Chain A
Amino acid sequence: MGFIRNFTKAFASEFRLAMHDQGILIFLVLLPIAYPIIYSLIYNPEFARDVAVVVVDNDRTQLSRELVRNIDACQEVHIIGYAADLNEAKRAMDSRDCFAIIEIPEGFQRKVERNETGNAIFYSDMSLMLRYKGVLTATTNVALAMGSELQAKKINEVAPLASTLTTGDPMPVESHFLGNIQGGFDSFLMPGVLILILQQAAVLAIGMAGGARREKLLYSEGNGMSITTWMLGRTACYLALFMVPAIYICHYVPLMFSFPMEGDSLQIFAFILPMLLASIMLGFCLQGVVTERETVFVIWVVTSIMFLFLSGLTWPRYAMTGVWKALADCVPATFGVLGFIKMNGNGSSLAQVGDCYTALWIQAAAYTCLAMIIQWHLRKHYSR
Chain B
Amino acid sequence: MKIFLRSLRQIVSRPVYWAAMFILPLFCILLLTTLMEEGLPMKIPSAMVDKDGTSLSRELTQNLGSMQLIDLTEECNSYTEARHLVQEGKIYGFFMIPENFESDLLAGKSPVVTFYTNMTFYVPASLSFKAFKTTALISKVGIIVEVVEAVGGSGSQAMGLLQPVSFVGRPIGNPDMNYAVYLANSFLPCVLQLMIMLVTCFSLGQEIKYGRSRQLMDMANGSVLKAVFMKLLPETLIWWVMILFLESWLYCWQGYPMHGSWFWFTLGELMYVPACQGMALILFGITPNLRLSLSLSALLGILCFSVAAFSFPEQNMYPSISIFSWMLPARYNFLIYIDQALNGRDLFFSRWWYVAYIAYMVIPLLFMGRIKKAFMRPVYVP
> Which residues in A have some Cβ–Cβ distance to B below 8 Å?
21-23, 26, 38-39, 41-45, 47-52, 67, 94-96, 112, 114-133, 135-136, 139-140, 142-144, 146-147, 150-151, 154-155, 158-159, 161-162, 165-181, 183, 185, 188-189, 212, 215, 260, 291, 293-295, 297-299, 301-306, 309-310, 312-316, 318-321, 324, 338, 341-342, 345-349, 352-353
Give B301-320 interface residues, CB cut-off 8 Å to A: 301-303, 305-307, 309-313, 315-318
CB distance from A29 to the nearest CB of B (A): 13
CB distance from B115 to the nearest CB of A (A): 5
**Do B177 and A293 touch (CB < 8 A)?**
no
CB distance from A224 to the nearest CB of B (A): 27
Chain B residues, CB < 8 A from A341: 120-121
**Do A159 and B151 touch (CB < 8 A)?**
yes
Beyond the given A177-B118, A297-B298, could you list 18 further A-B residue pairs with CB under 8 A, ordered by the A residue number? Answer: A23-B295, A51-B313, A67-B165, A95-B349, A115-B161, A117-B163, A120-B165, A154-B164, A161-B151, A165-B151, A171-B110, A173-B137, A188-B119, A188-B120, A294-B290, A297-B198, A298-B294, A299-B20
Distance of A41 Cα from B312 Cα, bound (Å): 12
**Contacts A26-B295, A353-B88; is A117 near B307 (CB within 8 Å)?**
no
Distance of A114 Cα from B157 Cα, bound (Å): 10
**Contacts A188-B119, A302-B28, A306-B27; is A352 near B148 (CB within 8 Å)?**
no
Q: Nearest CB to that of A113 among chain B residues? A: B164
**Do A133 and B126 touch (CB < 8 A)?**
yes
Chain A residues, CB < 8 A from B165: 67, 112, 117-118, 120, 142-143, 146-147, 150
Q: Nearest CB to that of B348 among chain A residues? A: A94
**Do B140 and A316 touch (CB < 8 A)?**
no
Q: Contacting B116 at CB < 8 Å: which of A115, A175, A303, A349?
A: A175
Chain B residues, CB < 8 A from A142: 165, 167
**Contacts A117-B166, A166-B110; is A353 near B143 (CB within 8 Å)?**
no
**Contacts A159-B153, A166-B108, A302-B24; is A318 near B313 (CB within 8 Å)?**
no
Q: Mark B174-186, 1 if CB is under 8 A from A, else 0.
A: 1001010010000
Q: Contacting A294 at CB < 8 Å: which of B174, B195, B205?
A: B205
**Do A154 and B161 touch (CB < 8 A)?**
yes
**Contacts A159-B152, A179-B118, A319-B41; is A295 near B182 (CB within 8 Å)?**
no
B375 interface hit (Cβ, 8 Å): no
Give B28-44 interface residues, CB cut-off 8 Å to A: 28, 31-32, 34-38, 41-44
Chain A residues, CB < 8 A from B136: 171, 173
**Do B316 and A48 touch (CB < 8 A)?**
yes
Chain B residues, CB < 8 A from A162: 147-148, 151, 153
Sample 22 A-B pairs with CB under 8 A, ordered by A number: A45-B312, A47-B316, A48-B316, A51-B313, A119-B167, A122-B167, A126-B342, A128-B312, A158-B158, A159-B153, A162-B151, A174-B115, A175-B129, A175-B132, A180-B120, A183-B119, A183-B122, A305-B187, A316-B92, A324-B35, A342-B120, A348-B88
B345 interface hit (Cβ, 8 Å): yes
**Do A309 and B166 touch (CB < 8 A)?**
no
Distance of A144 Cα from B167 Cα, bound (Å): 10
* Chain A to chain B: the 9 pairs with minimum beta-carbon distance, closest first: A115-B160, A179-B120, A319-B41, A345-B120, A159-B153, A180-B119, A348-B87, A150-B164, A126-B174
B113 interface hit (Cβ, 8 Å): yes
Distance of A370 Cα from B32 Cα, bound (Å): 29
**Do A299 and B24 touch (CB < 8 A)?**
yes
Q: Nearest CB to that of B298 among chain A residues? A: A301
Count, chain B residues at interface, CB 8 A: 120
Q: Contacting B164 at CB < 8 Å: which of A118, A130, A347?
A: A118
**Contacts A112-B165, A150-B164, A294-B290; is A173 near B172 (CB within 8 Å)?**
no
Q: Contacting A119 at CB < 8 Å: which of B168, B294, B301, B309?
A: B168
Distance of A103 Cα from B184 Cα, bound (Å): 30
Q: Nearest CB to that of B149 among chain A residues? A: A159
Q: Nearest CB to that of B152 among chain A residues? A: A159
**Do A212 and B86 touch (CB < 8 A)?**
no
**Contacts A42-B306, A48-B313, A172-B112; is A143 near B35 (CB within 8 Å)?**
no
**Do A342 and B89 touch (CB < 8 A)?**
yes
**Do A169 and B110 touch (CB < 8 A)?**
yes
Distance of A333 Cα from B316 Cα, bound (Å): 29
CB distance from A227 to the nearest CB of B (A): 26
Give B161-218 interface residues, CB cut-off 8 Å to A: 161-174, 177, 179, 182, 187, 191, 194-195, 198-199, 202, 205, 209
Q: Nearest CB to that of B37 among chain A residues? A: A321
Q: Nearest CB to that of A165 among chain B residues? A: B108
Q: Nearest CB to that of A133 among chain B residues? A: B126
Give B327-366 interface residues, CB cut-off 8 Å to A: 334, 338-339, 342-343, 345-346, 349
Of A41, A127, A185, A324, most B-chain CB atoms within 10 Å: A127
B76 interface hit (Cβ, 8 Å): no
CB distance from A111 to the nearest CB of B (A): 9
CB distance from B56 to the nearest CB of A (A): 10
**Do A130 and B20 touch (CB < 8 A)?**
no
B144 interface hit (Cβ, 8 Å): yes
**Do A132 and B139 touch (CB < 8 A)?**
no
**Do B311 and A132 touch (CB < 8 A)?**
no
CB distance from A21 to the nearest CB of B (A): 7
Q: Nearest CB to that of A200 among chain B residues? A: B302
Chain B residues, CB < 8 A from A119: 166-168
Q: Mark B273-308, 1 if CB is under 8 A from A, else 0.
A: 000000000000000001100110110011101110
CB distance from A294 to the nearest CB of B (A): 5
**Contacts A126-B174, A165-B151, A178-B83; is A301 near B302 (CB within 8 Å)?**
yes
Q: Mark B84-99, 1 if CB is under 8 A from A, else 0.
A: 1011110011000000
Chain A residues, CB < 8 A from B312: 42-43, 45, 48, 128, 130, 185
Chain A residues, CB < 8 A from B117: 175-178
CB distance from B354 to the nearest CB of A (A): 15
**Do A305 and B36 touch (CB < 8 A)?**
no
Distance of A78 Cα from B35 Cα, bound (Å): 35
Of B126, B157, B169, most A-chain CB atoms within 10 Å: B169
B125 interface hit (Cβ, 8 Å): yes
